[in-house]
Amino acid sequence: MNDARLLPAGDHPAIIQTLCRESGQPVPESKGEIVRCVLESLAVKYGEVLSQLLELSGRKADVIHIMGGGSQNDLLNQLTADATGIPVKAGPVEATVLGNSLVQFIALGEIKDLDEGRKLVADSFPAKYYQPKFIHR
C-alpha cells in the first residue's frame, strides 16, 4: 500500500500486478481480483496502523468507526473487521456535512453540546455493523 509507484497517476492495475509479482504473491489478473487485492491490502494496512496507534497510546479499541463514502463499501468494512479482529461501525455516509451542521447547531444554541449532537446523528442515521469473522494476522 505504501509503494511510491502507486502515488502518481498511471496504470495502477499493472503496477499492482508488478508489486505482487515482485513480492512473490499471487498476481491478480481480472478486474475483480485486482479490486479484491486492493481492498484486502487496505484492510491489512488499517490493521497495521491501528496496532501501532494502540501500542503507542497504550489504549484499546472496542470498535472502529468508518464514516463518509468508505462506509458504503460492505466488503472493505468486513475485511477491516476481519483483519483487525475489531467490530466495525459504518456510517453515516455524509459525516462531513453532519459534523459541520452540528457545530453550527451548537453555535446557534439549537443543541447543547457535542454529546447531544452525536445522539441526534445516531438516532437519525442508522449505522451498519460488521463483526470479525476471520482474523488475517
CATH code for the domain in which residue 99 is found: 3.30.420.40
Spell out the per-residue pLDDT of the chain, length 137, in tens: 899 999 999 999 999 999 999 999 999 999 999 999 999 999 999 999 999 999 999 999 999 999 999 899 999 999 999 999 999 999 999 989 999 999 999 999 999 999 999 999 999 998 999 999 965 55
Number of domains composing the chain: 1
C-alpha cell at 73: 463499501
Residue 27 lies in a domain: yes
Sheet containing 128-130: order of strands: 64-66, 88-90, 128-130
Q: What is the per-residue pLDDT for 1?
A: 85
Residue 136 lies in a domain: no
Distance between CA 128 and CA 137 in Å, rounded? 24
Q: What is the per-residue pLDDT for 130?
A: 97
Q: What is the per-residue pLDDT for 19?
A: 96
Cβ within 8 Å of residue 58, ≥6 positions away:
none
Residue 45 lies in a domain: yes
Range of the domain at 96: 4-130
Q: What is the per-residue pLDDT for 135?
A: 58
Is residue 114 a contact partner of residue 106, using CB atoms and an 8 Å limit? Answer: yes
Residue 126 lies in a domain: yes
19 by Cβ neighbours in 10 Å (0-12 / 13-18 / 19+) ranks as middle
pTM of the prediction?
A: 0.84
Residue 135 lies in a domain: no
Residue 54 lies in a domain: yes
